[in-house]
Amino acid sequence: MALGDAWQVTQMNYHEKEQLMEIRVTDMPALWRQEKCPHCGCQTVRGYDHAPERRWRHLNVCQIQAEIVCALPRGECLGCAKVYTVRAPWEGRSRGLTQEFEAFALTLMREMPVKKAGEILGETDQKLWRMLFAHVDAAWKDLSWENVVWVGADEMNRKKGHNYLTVFVDLQAKRVLLAVEGKDASVWERFTEELGKHNGHPQAITQIAIDMSPAYKKGVREHFGNATVVFDKFHVVSQVVQAVDEVRRLEARTDSQARSELTRTSWLWRKNPETWTAKEGDRWTQLKDKPLVTGLAYAMRLQLQRAYDAPTAAQARARFEAWCHWVRTEAAALAVGWLEPMRKAADMVERHLDGILAHWQQGLTTAFMEGLNSLFSAVKRRARGYRSSEYQTAMLYFVAGKLEIPYYAK
Ligand SMILES: [Zn+2]
């Protein structure tokens, strides 16, 4: 800690009983040559008196907890006649913590759950959270989004009992911009507002990657008329994966033979063959020659994924169209309606084909969007014990917002 000539360490006291190192600091006359009145900016400030002694948790000294102790001086401004307490240059964004201590605590918090960091530091996790909020809020408010042109949005916390969050990301800079509670069209209005506050502009956004939810489509249409909408591979495929799952449930519900065969196979159909466990692979070998409609639906899903290997958008269009045709033909040929979810998926693909093909034209990288879900799981682990979206959002900005933290600039 560099104190300059305005402050001086006068004493180091070790208190054996409390295992505490006290670092006593006092102000020097040079302080008043540098001091500026916080009220009027005037540089003629003179020493007035001292405020009661205060303490700041500092970095440990040789593994002993250390505190800075100082009675901060009060200055009297000769310009506006106001008396104020001088700010300690070592003070962090939290009252009672030094900047060095905060920096170290934040380093720990990047690596582990806040609770755990609190145990290591001997501070309550509430105190650490308050510090994190202070840094994240300040750094986030000063962010510039003026270069943001490719935006992605996705909904997090799909599970029941959680608040939905819509997360907006900058796909070029690969950073999280904003998380807003909700998943309806109004979240786009919020994004537009924040864009304005951060020097961005809706007209500058040229590409937006979203899932096919009507609410998002409406929000984009209303607020981002200039943008090309891209329905990314991740969302298209996951909708079809969901359709396969519905087929499985329909088939198992209606047919007792199929029910016994399909028992405990839901994960098998959700994965790609490359990611099957040995057990799932064996299961597949047993099932593959059975006339299961679920197996057919699964084959359809794999075929759809292969359409993404097409080198050009025109070739991809032909593959998607052929896929839709195939799915509809099979669905119509089946006397029972089990393939109905797949037929609906084909309709969805057809309706959104231009946006799906934008994947080839725009060169948008959707890897960051795909990774967002696992990133968010990591965020929830760090915020363990704190489920409200306020905590999750702060942690999300902290780990994925590319913020400058610790942040003391303003
Ligand atoms: Zn003044």
* CATH label of the domain that carries residue 208: 3.30.420.10
Q: What is the mean pLDDT of residues 271-296?
A: 91
Q: Are residues 190 and 255 in the same domain?
A: no
Check whether residue 193 and residue 284 sit in a common domain.
no
Average pLDDT of span 154-174? 84
What's the 75 CA to ligand 1 centre distance in angstroms? 10
How many Å lie between the centroid of ligand 1 and the Cα of residue 135?
28
Q: What pLDDT sits at residue 360?
A: 85
Domain that holds residue 384: 150-232+374-400
Residue where one domain finishes, among candidates 91, 113, 132: 91
Q: How far is the CA of 32 from the centre of ligand 1 (A)?
A: 13
In a domain, residue 202? The reply is yes
State the distance from the centre of ligand 1 to the C-alpha of 33, rounded, in angstroms. Answer: 14
246 and 352 co-located in one domain: yes
Question: Within this chain, do residues 298 and 260 fall inside the same structural domain, yes or no?
Answer: yes
Residues whose CB is less than 8 angstroms from the CB of residue 404 and which lie 6 or more positions away in sequence, other chains included: 139
Cα angle 362, 366, 369; round to 5: 140
- CA–CA gap between residue 56 and residue 90 (Å, rounded): 9
| Concatenated DSSP letters of 113-132 | -HHHHHHHHTS-HHHHHHHH
CA of 55 relative to ligand 1 center, distance in Å: 27
**Is 111 within a domain?**
no
With 60 as the cut, is the pLDDT of residue 247 above it? yes
- Map tokens 């008196």 to a residue: 49
Q: How far is the CA of 36 from the centre of ligand 1 (A)?
A: 8
* Å from CA of 27 to ligand 1 middle: 20
Question: Would you state the pLDDT for residue 362?
Answer: 67
pLDDT of residue 408: 86
Cα 28 to middle of ligand 1, angstroms: 21
Distance 43 CA to ligand 1 centre (A): 8
* Residue 25, beta-bridge partner list: 9
pLDDT band at 173 (very low <50, low <70, confident <90, very high): very high
For 394, counting Cβ atoms within 10 Å of its Cβ (0-12 exposed, 13-18 middle, 19+ buried), the class is buried
Supply 62's token pair.
Answer: 């040789």
Residues 171 and 207 placed together within one structural domain of the fold: yes
Strands 20-27 and 150-156: unpaired
Helix (H, G, I), strand (E, B) or coil at 48: strand
Average pLDDT over residues 79-101: 95
Q: 262 and 181, same structural domain?
A: no
CB-based contact 298:287 (threshold 8 Å): no
Residues 196 and 255 in one domain: no
For the chain, the domain total comes to 3
Q: What average pLDDT score do residues 138-153 get?
A: 94
- Does 118 score more than 90 pLDDT? yes
CA–centroid distance, 53 to ligand 1, in Å, is 24
- Cα(80) to ligand 1 centroid in Å equals 4
CB atoms within 10 A of CB 279: 9
Per-residue pLDDT tens over the stretch 210-228: 988 899 999 999 999 889 8
170 lies in a domain? Answer: yes
Q: Tell me the C-alpha distance between 356 and 351, whole Å.
A: 10
Asked whether residue 160 carries a pLDDT value surpassing 70, the answer given is no
Q: 44 CA to middle of ligand 1, Å?
A: 8
Q: How far, in Å, from the CA of 338 to the mean position of ligand 1? A: 78
- Rounded to the nearest angstrom, the distance between the alpha carbon of 99 and the centre of ligand 1 is 27
What integer pLDDT is reported at residue 406 of this predicted model? 93
Q: Is residue 408 one of the residues assigned to a domain?
A: no
Q: Tell me the average pLDDT of the chain.
A: 92
- Does residue 125 lie in a domain region? no
pLDDT at res. 169:
96
- Give the three-state DSSP class for 194: helix
Report yes or no on 190 lying in a domain.
yes
User: What average pLDDT score do residues 262-287 get?
Assistant: 90
Q: Is residue 308 located within the same domain as residue 326? A: yes
Q: Has residue 339 been placed in a domain?
A: yes
pLDDT value for 364: 64
118 inside domain: no
Q: Counting every residue, how long is the chain?
A: 410
pLDDT tens-digit profile of 17-32? 989 999 999 999 999 9
**pLDDT band, residue 410 (cuts 50/70/90):** low
Across-strand partners of 259?
A: none
Q: How far is the CA of 35 from the centre of ligand 1 (A)?
A: 11
179 and 271 share a domain?
no
Based on the domain organization, do 269 and 357 belong to the same domain?
yes
For the purposes of burial, counting CB atoms within 10 Å of the CB of 243, is it exposed (0-12), middle (13-18) or buried (19 or more)? Answer: buried
| Predicted pLDDT at 265 | 87
Ligand 1 center from residue 98 Cα (angstroms) = 27
For residue 107, the one-letter residue type is T
Share of the chain above pLDDT 70, in %: 97
More confident position, 327 or 160: 327
35 plus 58 within the same structural domain: yes
At residue 158 the predicted structure's pLDDT band, cuts being 50, 70 and 90, is: low
Amino acid at 178: L
> Where among 91, 107, 137 does a domain terminate?
91
Q: Please give the Cα distance from 270 to 323 (Å, whole number).
A: 19
Q: Quote the ligand 1 centre to 85 CA distance (angstroms).
A: 12
Q: Residue 260: which pLDDT band, with cuts at 50, 70 and 90?
A: confident
What pLDDT digit, counting tens, does each position of 369-407 carry?
Answer: 888 888 988 898 888 888 788 999 999 999 999 999 999
- pLDDT for 25 equals 97
Question: Quick one: pLDDT band at residue 9, thresholds 50, 70, 90?
Answer: very high
pLDDT grade for 368, boundaries at 50, 70 and 90: confident
Indicate whether 293 and 385 sit together in one domain. no
Task: Tell me, in angstroms, the distance from the centre of ligand 1 to residue 81's CA.
Answer: 6
